[in-house]
Amino acid sequence: MTPASELRSGKTDRDENFPVASWIIHKRHRALILAFYNFVRTADDIADHALLDASTKLSMLDELETGLLGQHDEQVEANTLRAAFAERGMAPRHALDLLTAFRMDVTKLRYADWDELIHYCSFSAMPVGRFMLEVHGEDKATWPASDAICAALQINNHLQDCAKDYRDLDRVYLPQDIMRRHGVSVEALDKPKSSPELLACLRDLVARNEALLREGDSLTVHMADTRFACNIAVIEKFAWEISKLLRVHDPLSEKVHLSKGSMAGYALAAMAGCLWRRATTSAPLSRPAAGK
């Protein structure tokens, strides 16, 4: 078997749009979160690998799955995550859901409408939030708000990278019906600059995505773990700020990302706001499961 580690892109948790295992998270959770991240990042890099054909990608993803399920010990990332799950008594369901999304990335290059895109996010993004909530022992009642935030994060990423995804992988996450409504073809993504029609399409999707962020707005109030709530507040703040950038910048001709300096400022503001909101809101908090 080819070591999956050899197919990594070099991207790490520090390159993401959101904090993966930051100092905000209690240190007892960080090893498990990083094991999960490294497994998922490896699978994602396989699905996006420019030099592998589809059958090889699917075979490698299958190897990661069977390794995670304990059928062999050939893939380091699978071994590490399997051991981390066993130590915490957790099932691998969320990691398996993500593998489903990466298989979709290999085999599905277009999305007919918004509902199809959200279905993809139910495997590609929502399991990440659910995993984090489970790690922290949060109630399942928090899942719907988390699902909305995670889908919004994923779609922000699709909008930021829409040209790169098309040029490098012939993969288009912009719903086809919304593109048609604005008179846009996928070939518009290969231009050096967005047409007015494409910009209108992208901003239509930004507005839909902001509605998802609003759906998740109550999450930080209803969580039991204050540190994790602050972490989520930071992620939400980053998502909103990226959305603001997407409203005024062209992702085909401009880099639509937050600077490291601005992220630090946004993080501090988000944590302060989260603590104030939790202190002044009477909404009942969920309670973590025993032993978490």
Element (H, E) at 122: helix 114-124
Q: Looking at this protein, which amino acid is placed at residue 14?
A: R
Q: Which two tokens stand for residue 169?
A: 């992988």
Q: Which two tokens stand for residue 275?
A: 């603590």
pLDDT in tens, the chain (292 residues): 566 666 665 554 444 445 544 557 888 888 999 999 999 999 999 999 989 999 999 999 999 999 999 999 999 999 999 999 999 999 999 999 999 999 999 999 999 999 999 999 999 999 999 999 999 999 999 999 999 999 999 999 999 999 999 999 999 999 999 999 999 999 999 999 999 999 999 999 999 999 999 999 999 999 999 999 999 999 999 999 999 999 999 999 999 999 988 999 999 999 999 999 999 986 555 554 444 4
What's the confidence (pLDDT) of residue 286?
Answer: 53
Which of 188, 116, 127 lies closest to 153, judged by CA?
127
What's the confidence (pLDDT) of residue 262?
Answer: 92
248 CB-near residues (< 8 Å, 6+ apart): none
Question: Would you call 276 exposed, middle or buried from its count of C-beta atoms within 10 A (0-12, 13-18, 19+)?
Answer: exposed
What is the separation of C-alpha 125 from the centre of its chain, rounded to a whole number of angstroms? 4
217 CB-near residues (< 8 Å, 6+ apart): 145, 236
Which of 283, 18, 41 lies closest to 150, judged by CA?
18
The model's pTM: 0.90
